[in-house]
Amino acid sequence: MIRNIVGDVYQIGEYVEGSYGYEAVLVYVIMNHQHPILIDCGSQLHRAGIMQEINSLLAGHTPEYIFLTHSELPHAGNLQQVAKQWPNIKVIVSNVMLPYIEIAPILPLSQITSEAAGKTINIGGRTLKFVFATLKDQPGSQWVFDTQTGILFTGDGFGYYQSAEQIGKFSDEVEGGIREIQFRDYHRTAFHFLRWVLPEKFNPDLDAIFAQLPVKIIAPIHGDAIRSDIPTHVARLKQAVANIRNVV
Amino acid sequence: MNTIIFGEGLERVAVRPITSDIFWITHCLGDKAQDIYKNYFGMLPNAADYSGHRIVDYPFSAFLVRDEKSLMIDTGAPRQQANTLKAVEYVLGDKSLDYIWISHVELPHAGNAPVLKRRYPQAQYMTVRGGEQYALHGLEGAQLMAPGEVINLGKHQLESVEPLFVDHGLSQWAYERTTGFMFTADWAHNLHEPAKNECFMFLDEMENAGYSADLHCDDVKVNAWYQFPWLKWTDPDEVCAAVDTFFARYDTKILAPSHGNIIRGDMARYVPLIKEGMRQAIAM
Ligand SMILES: [Fe+2]
Ligand SMILES: [Fe+2]
Ligand SMILES: [Fe+2]
Ligand SMILES: [Fe+2]
């Protein structure tokens, strides 16, 4: 399902069913004139559908960069297919990742660059900023902020399970937005370490990101983009983290 | 059997027996370590200690238990696929591989599961119960184990252990009851120096050649800080108490993390050092 989030940014991807409802496995595409950028490339299970959607969006343009939030299969499983179709594509990952061993050897290592949190990159006139991933399940995970649209791409962070009716809908198209319990159920399964995490230590680090960046939209891989009321959704996520700690 | 090395550089894999029937199958970079880890440790407050005068290396290990039924603990990464397969074949000869046991689904841990399964089609994937979307993570058809469940291999009994410190949501550790072999995946590992020939050494061998308790503690700290960025939000007393409870429960005689040199015994000496490393990592 292809959906325009805002401006030239689109989400595509699939939804897999589980006991909590549906889990999105998304890919984001920034059209960026002649310099398209992919954020993750989805699961190999959804290869045909994802490649078809990417191709229909790009309409013959060649993606210049793919940013991998991290290297797990639901995020990087189609890299082989992407590299096959666009062999010159450049891959950007966190500087904490070890591409030689954490990414399948399907591209020359010279095509993979590592960027540190806090750095910015300019691609065809567009500035992206790399952000420390507060919620991650691999050390080599990173978030990225699109300064043009105010979208923060959060990888596994801010994921949530959704009902069948909610599939493909942005938060502003869902009555009341994303609920705390949706964040809680997802984060408890994705981040088992949260049972150790003290909210009073965690919250200031999460708040600092939103204090520093003018985030208008949160775009998780495992949930449709959150386009509305960012402070409320951040507060719900913090409540979810506190509830996971207290209810284990 | 001594250490046997297959390949070199980014693809090098060594195999070395830990007991007569438990084998360490491990990749590390050796003299290529400096190139790769220069940036990796660059963000440390004391980066020079890890990429300057002390050039460290970081192993990626799997373990093979050879018995009536044989079992691989993790699989290594695709870049070392061919040499990993050679190491497994070297150990097993014409015996079969019966279980491919996965601690968690990251590429350096589970990335060779498909090729092992192709080479040994009867092998059963084993992973941890309680998750969903196994197919999404490449583990379709895996048999699921809850913590406490045991696979009987003959002389060896491999128990699935609830892990203390994890990155990925779907994770398990393992305890082999006959030998007291404890596998802790991404936790409690040291670093080693290729220039001192520490690649593929056991920790006691490194100590005999000068590796100190202080360095060990510092390495545990640095690795925990990198591996578990969430530690800074935890309570150090709670973390250390959990480590004590863990080793009181499991009589550990061999400590085998994925990314360190193997500890053979004397855990009473190492547990306080590991706890101190964790405490310092939380304070970093
Ligand atoms: Fe993940
Ligand atoms: Fe994910
Ligand atoms: Fe690991
Ligand atoms: Fe080494």
- Residue in B with minimal Cα distance to A241: B233
Minimal C-alpha gap between A72 and chain B (Å) = 6
Q: Per residue in B110-130, pLDDT tens?
A: 999 999 999 999 999 999 998
The secondary element (H helix, E strand) that includes residue B282 is: helix B267-283
Minimal C-alpha gap between A190 and chain B (Å) = 5
pLDDT of residue B48: 79
Nearest to A201 among B137, B171, B232 (CB): B232
Question: Are the beta carbons of B78 and A104 separated by less than 8 Å?
Answer: yes
Q: Which two tokens stand for residue A205?
A: 């680090």
Contact of A203 with chain B, judged by CB distance below 8 Å, is answered with: no
List Cβ neighbours of A23 (8 Å cut-off, separation of 6 or more): A15, A16, A159, A161, A186, A222, B132, B133
Q: What angle do CA B143, B72, A75 make, to 5 degrees?
A: 65
Q: What angle do CA B200, B9, A80 make, to 5 degrees?
A: 115
pLDDT of residue A124: 94
Across residues A220-225, what is the average pLDDT? 98
pLDDT of residue B53: 78
Question: Are the beta carbons of B132 and A197 separated by less than 8 Å?
Answer: no
Tell how far the Cα of B95 is from the centroid of ligand 2, in angstroms. 37
Domain that holds residue A44: 3-247
pTM for this model (two decimals): 0.96
Q: What is the largest CA-CA distance in chain A?
A: 51
pLDDT of residue B169: 82
- Residue in B with minimal Cα distance to A189: B169
SS3 A62: coil
Tell how far the Cα of B105 is from the centroid of ligand 1, in angstroms. 10
What CATH superfamily is the domain B4-204+251-265?
Ribonuclease Z/Hydroxyacylglutathione hydrolase-like (3.60.15.10)
Distance, CA of A149 to CA of A62 (rounded, Å): 21
Tell me: pLDDT of A117 over 70. Answer: yes
Q: Which CATH number is A209's domain given?
A: 3.60.15.10
pLDDT of residue B278: 98
Chain B hits for A186, Cβ within 8 Å: none
- DSSP string over B126-178: EEETT---TGGGT-TT-EEE-TT-EEE-SS-EEEEE--SS-SSSS--EEEETT
pLDDT of residue A186: 96
Query: Which amino acid is located at A213 in the chain?
Result: L
Nearest to A197 among B80, B227, B230 (CB): B230
Report residues of chain B scoring pLDDT below 70: none
Q: Per residue in B145-160, pLDDT tens?
A: 999 999 999 999 999 9
pLDDT of residue A247: 76
User: Which residue of B8, B133, B172, B258 to mutate against A (max A Cβ within 10 Å)?
Assistant: B133
Nearest to B169 among A77, A114, A191 (CB): A191
User: Which residue of A73, A132, A141, A184 to mutate against B (max B Cβ within 10 Å)?
Assistant: A73
Contact of B133 with chain A, judged by CB distance below 8 Å, is answered with: yes
Contact of B89 with chain A, judged by CB distance below 8 Å, is answered with: no
Minimal C-alpha gap between A177 and chain B (Å) = 25
Confidence of residue A65 (pLDDT cuts 50, 70, 90): very high
Q: Per residue in A125-178, pLDDT tens?
A: 999 999 999 999 999 999 999 999 999 999 999 999 999 999 999 999 999 999
**Residues less than 5 Å from ion ligand 3, measured at CB:** B 186, 258
Across residues A48-67, what is the average pLDDT? 96
Contact of B129 with chain A, judged by CB distance below 8 Å, is answered with: no
Tell me: pLDDT of A201 over 70. Answer: yes
Confidence of residue A191 (pLDDT cuts 50, 70, 90): very high
pLDDT of residue B80: 98
- Starting from the CA of residue B107, give the closest ligand: 3
Identify the residue with better confidence: B138 or A195.
Answer: A195
Minimal C-alpha gap between A63 and chain B (Å) = 25
Cβ neighbours, 10 Å, residue A223: 26
Q: What's the domain count of chain A?
A: 1
Tell me: pLDDT of A248 over 60. Answer: no
Helix ranges (H only) for chain A are: 47-58, 73-76, 79-85, 99-102, 180-190, 199-212, 230-247
